Amino acid sequence: MSELQEGQQAPEFTGKDQDGNTITLSQFKGQTVVLYFYPKDDTPGCTAEACDFRDNYAGLKAKGIVVLGVSVDDEKSHQKFVAKHSLPFTLLADTDQSIVTAYGVWGEKNMYGKKYMGTNRTTFLINEEGIISHIINKVDTRNSTAQVLELLEK
């Protein structure tokens, strides 16, 4: 699959959230969506990113922005992550890797010289028409909301 670019239609997806509800991208048409991909529930960087979105969620929601987090962890893992950190937004359990693959964020990673396949931390900003307006490849996990708002205000 070719790499997604800003200005392209965001790939449609269907997934299950932490409560087993079916979620599709198209159900958010007319709203700005922050679709953020992260490697693993309850790890330091992923927790920092999720908590930054949590701490700024009221302001994002007031601007009509929907936050959706995606990882390949299962619903049960997401439930624990949401409960432990009081996350007010939806996490999608992409256990079959269909969403990470569609968005091109599943790839080879390298930790301590060991190569493995995993999710590359990436944030997509999707406008009201379902078009990718911005792609953040270098996510600042402690300031992810500020990164998003800076781009949306341009």
Determine the Cα–Cα distance for residues 153 and 116; give it in Å rounded to an integer.
37
Q: Which among 25, 34, 46, 82 is annotated as catalytic? A: 46
Cβ 122 vs Cβ 100: under 8 Å:
no
Could you confirm whether 46 is annotated as catalytic? yes
Q: Helices 75-85 and 44-55: crossing angle, nearest 10°?
A: 60
At which residue do the structure tokens 């569609």 appear? 102
| Catalytic residue annotation | 46
